Amino acid sequence: MKVINLDHISAKPLLPEVKEVMIEAIEKDYHNPSSQHKSGEEATAALQKAREAMAALLNCKTPKEIVFTSGGTESVNHAIKGVALANEDKGKHIITSNIEHNAVIRSLRRLRSSGFTVTSLPVDSSGRVKPKDVAEAITKDTILVSIMHSNNETGTTQPIEEIGKITRERKVIFHSDAVDSVGVVPMDVQHLGVDLLSFASNTLYGPAGVGGLFIRRGTRIFPLLDGGVQENNKRAGAENLVGIIGTGKAAELALRDMDKRLIHLKTLKDQILSELPHAIDEYIINTHAEHSLPNLVSISIKYIEGESVMLMLDDENIAVSTRSACATGSLRASHVLLSLGLSHADAQGTLVISFGVDNSKEDIVTFLNALKNVVTTLRDISPLYQKESQL
Amino acid sequence: MKVINLDHISAKPLLPEVKEVMIEAIEKDYHNPSSQHKSGEEATAALQKAREAMAALLNCKTPKEIVFTSGGTESVNHAIKGVALANEDKGKHIITSNIEHNAVIRSLRRLRSSGFTVTSLPVDSSGRVKPKDVAEAITKDTILVSIMHSNNETGTTQPIEEIGKITRERKVIFHSDAVDSVGVVPMDVQHLGVDLLSFASNTLYGPAGVGGLFIRRGTRIFPLLDGGVQENNKRAGAENLVGIIGTGKAAELALRDMDKRLIHLKTLKDQILSELPHAIDEYIINTHAEHSLPNLVSISIKYIEGESVMLMLDDENIAVSTRSACATGSLRASHVLLSLGLSHADAQGTLVISFGVDNSKEDIVTFLNALKNVVTTLRDISPLYQKESQL
């Protein structure tokens, strides 16, 4: 069964070169990088190589600023809880936005029950935080600002550099959840001015369940996983070496192929946006026209449910998503879309189309044709649509 | 370079069948188990299969009691911090032992700085905790007892069932760090009476950087990783599906081959213990004669340093360890060995020989011959040895 994957935001395929090095690592049976004999040293060298590739992709000052984790969620938990606990003597106030991923929201909720206070900033109707709001929210108790780089339901990116200038000036630690950006768009931690940056390997076409955290040297943070001295004493636990080796290769390729990928993604995105009006009508585009990822288009289709569209497209072997895979099972409308000012009904009609290097222009044509049929079918049976058309 | 791996406690090779399913999973490019389309459902089924295999190995009442993690360290952190935070309204006292792994020690140290108190129980000269000591240490503020199943530096196992009876009667949550036991010896969570059990996939000849936590239904515990609703809402984050699939296969094989493996390991252990007196003299055996793992022998060789022995054996392509790989780099003598009553000098002379299904009797012969030469060479240049021999 060949499935057209337009749900890259939930899962990207591994690149052939990434598969190759992961399989090699499995065959090779690396020993433990913490062991001091020769077998351990080979493992250490492989780990170091991956760390250097990741540091190069983000333009870190030293590979030591990269801590490998079990994925974006662990990285975010580490950043937020680690900074909170290490700095609570200075203050217990944290600033975030209303459109963060659940990993951020729930980590902060956990801290709230330990006496931390959180200011959650609104976004404007285009889905962006105002840097001025961040500046105004900072108090003498503020120890951390955590604002995502890009949103996984809209693709809209945030003014991270401008916020970074503010946090540097005010000497507040700045974390950005860049799980959906690193590997997709050029990311330079010096330029962005962040102290902490969370990323996930799968966004680079590396394996799921692997990721990392950039920790700028000198940032006061505790480990989330206490134990051994791995990862320069910042993250205990035997390393997922197979996954980390795959991540290193994926980082190397992302850096090498970034320009080529951006052109390809932009072509597909333009194709969707320009052809969509010929396929369907009455929809809202949730993705920012200028400040957004090149690999994602979010639309809210009026009078029908995104979930029904997703399931009917699935029957045609086309995978799309309606919202963050991590929130699957929740019946509530997305907090992200409601934050943009969408009505509950419109939010429920949302479809997230996310694509990658493995998609072609033909995939988009197939998708748009299928979407046209699905929307027509669903609207034909939609009481809401009948009512509105009679007005 | 063929290396004889007698450092299985730091890293075990993947079983051929485990490699096979991991490589298949890489080739297959599973989608995200949280996605609701068909591609997501295939991933969900693979995840469920692994969970069932792991639950069968531990005799869980339901696969839902298994939470997959990024390894033993995360499992231990989850168990200890998760129980502490979820139960601090009941009390803030925790009981542990003096010979725990760093993941336990440092998780507890972290909690101490948040106002928890910890009673750390001594072990007798054979390396075992007295259940009576646990019973006596329990107060009305005690919310958790955390005692390891087996120690990774001595191989000695603890009276977990007897402690389990006490904690059940006193209604205190009981966690056991069984990272070096699960997959090596039969483990039945009903029989052991634990509420939480940490394990690592590599101990089952599965991949490093994968593990899990048994959480008995009804146990009051918070997640360590907050975010999405993965792992029955107990552990957020996209799953390391390649690693988890490997773990499932490893669990299936451990259950199938347990008896055969035990016989093989016992043969090698007996060979080491019976031949050792013919190879070297003046050493202490740190491993309990009866209550210990079948795959590990810990000895302290007098007048010389374990690290020198390890490095010289490395030159002969034989890998052994001197202590926990997680503590590598520390110059201090092992807290575990000092707890047994060993002197600093004797503790420094410790060698941990750990073996597995891939070792043969010939490997042991080669090792013992090499050890004999190495010890002779080192003692010839040891001032301590010269001094003692002149007495």
Name residues whose C-beta falls within 8 Å of residue B79's C-beta, 6 or more positions apart in sequence.
B146, B175, B196, B198, B213, B221
Q: What is the pLDDT of residue B391?
A: 62
Q: What is the DSSP letter of A359?
A: -
Name the residue among A104, A215, A100 with its Cα closest to residue A150: A100
Cα–Cα dist B219/B172, whole Å: 10
Name residues whose C-beta falls within 8 Å of residue B101's C-beta, 6 or more positions apart in sequence.
A227, B72, B76, B148, B152, B177, B179, B324, B326
Q: Which domains does chain B have, with CATH numbers?
A: 4-11+258-390 (3.90.1150.10), 16-254 (3.40.640.10)
Positions of B annotated as catalytic residues are 326
Helix (H) or strand (E) holding B283: strand B283-285
The ipTM of this complex is 0.95
**Per-residue confidence of chain B (391 residues) as pLDDT tens digits?**
689 999 999 999 999 999 999 999 999 999 999 888 888 999 999 999 999 999 999 999 999 999 999 999 999 999 999 999 999 999 999 999 999 999 999 999 999 999 999 999 999 999 999 999 999 999 999 999 999 999 999 999 999 999 999 999 999 999 999 999 999 999 999 999 999 999 999 999 999 999 999 999 999 999 999 999 899 999 999 999 999 999 999 999 999 999 999 999 999 999 999 999 999 999 999 999 999 999 999 999 999 999 999 999 999 999 999 976 555 555 678 899 999 999 998 999 999 999 999 999 999 999 999 999 999 999 998 887 887 776 6
Placement of tokens 């369907």 in the chain: A280
Cα–Cα dist A287/A10, whole Å: 17
Range from A249-253, A376-380, B1-5, B85-89 carrying the lowest mean pLDDT: B1-5
Chain B residues within an 8 Å CB radius of A39: 3, 5, 7, 11, 319
Q: Partners of B299 in the beta sheet?
A: B285, B351
Cα–Cα dist B249/B217, whole Å: 24
Q: What is the pLDDT of residue A386?
A: 80
Chain B residues within an 8 Å CB radius of A76: 227
Phi, psi of B117 (to 5 degrees): -110, 145
Cα–Cα dist A83/A204, whole Å: 26
Q: Is A227 on the interface with B (CB under 8 A)?
A: yes
Q: What is the pLDDT of residue B328?
A: 54
Q: Is B354 within 8 Å of B8 (Cβ atoms)?
A: yes
A-B C-beta contacts closer than 8 Å: 288
pLDDT in tens, A112-130: 999 999 999 999 999 999 9
pLDDT in tens, B298-345: 999 999 999 999 999 999 999 999 976 555 555 678 899 999 999 998
The C-alpha angle B61, B64, B68, rounded to 5 degrees, equals: 120
* Residue A176, min C-alpha distance to chain B (Å): 16
* Residue B338, min C-alpha distance to chain A (Å): 19
Q: Is B250 within 8 Å of B183 (Cβ atoms)?
A: yes
* Residue B391, min C-alpha distance to chain A (Å): 35
Q: What is the pLDDT of residue A324?
A: 60
What confidence category does residue A260 fall into, taking pLDDT thresholds of 50, 70 and 90? very high
The span from the first CA to the last CA of chain B, in angstroms, equals: 44
* Contact map slice: A 51-80 vs B, CB within 8 A: 69-74, 76-77
Sign of the Cα torsion B337, B342, B348, B351 reads negative
Name the amino acid, one letter, at B358: D
Q: What is the pLDDT of residue A315?
A: 96
DSSP readout, A128-171? ---HHHHHHH--TTEEEEE--SB-TTT-BB--HHHHHHHHHHHT
The C-alpha angle A299, A303, A308, rounded to 5 degrees, equals: 70
Q: What is the pLDDT of residue B326?
A: 54
Pairing verdict, β A211-215 and A66-69 = antiparallel
Cα–Cα dist B95/B171, whole Å: 14
Q: What is the pLDDT of residue B2?
A: 87
Q: What is the pLDDT of residue B192?
A: 98
Q: Which residue of B has its CA nearest to A113?
A: B85
Chain B residues within an 8 Å CB radius of A74: 70, 225, 237
Cα–Cα dist B238/B261, whole Å: 34
B314–A1: do the CB atoms touch at under 8 Å?
no
Chain B residues within an 8 Å CB radius of A35: 7, 10-11, 319, 321, 325, 328
Distances (CA, A) of A250 to A174, A258, B181, B247: 26, 11, 35, 24
Torsion on CA atoms A240, A46, A50, B9, rounded to nearest 10: 20
Q: What is the DSSP letter of B13?
A: P
* Residue A290, min C-alpha distance to chain B (Å): 28
pLDDT surpassing 70 at residue A102 = yes
pLDDT surpassing 90 at residue A66 = yes
Mean pLDDT of the region A289-295: 97
B227–A101: do the CB atoms touch at under 8 Å?
yes
- pTM (two decimals): 0.96
Mean pLDDT of the region A179-184: 98
B236–A102: do the CB atoms touch at under 8 Å?
yes
Q: What is the pLDDT of residue B122?
A: 97
Cα–Cα dist A129/A119, whole Å: 13
Placement of tokens 């020690």 in the chain: B105
Token pair for residue B303?
Answer: 């007048």
Greatest Cα pair distance, chain A, in angstroms, is 79
Phi, psi of B299 (to 5 degrees): -130, 150
What confidence category does residue A388 fall into, taking pLDDT thresholds of 50, 70 and 90? confident
* Contact map slice: B 320-379 vs A, CB within 8 A: 320-321, 324-330
Mean pLDDT of the region A309-336: 82
The C-alpha angle B74, B80, B83, rounded to 5 degrees, equals: 120
Q: What does the mean pLDDT of chain A come to?
A: 95
B313: helix, strand or coil: helix
Q: Is B306 within 8 Å of B349 (Cβ atoms)?
A: yes
Q: What is the pLDDT of residue B385?
A: 83
* Residue A243, min C-alpha distance to chain B (Å): 8
Q: What is the pLDDT of residue A237?
A: 95
Torsion on CA atoms A182, A188, A192, A198, rounded to nearest 10: 30
What confidence category does residue A290 fall into, taking pLDDT thresholds of 50, 70 and 90? very high
Chain A residues within an 8 Å CB radius of B240: 70-71, 207-210, 240, 243
Cα–Cα dist B201/A266, whole Å: 42
Q: Is B65 within 8 Å of B89 (Cβ atoms)?
A: no
A106–B227: do the CB atoms touch at under 8 Å?
yes
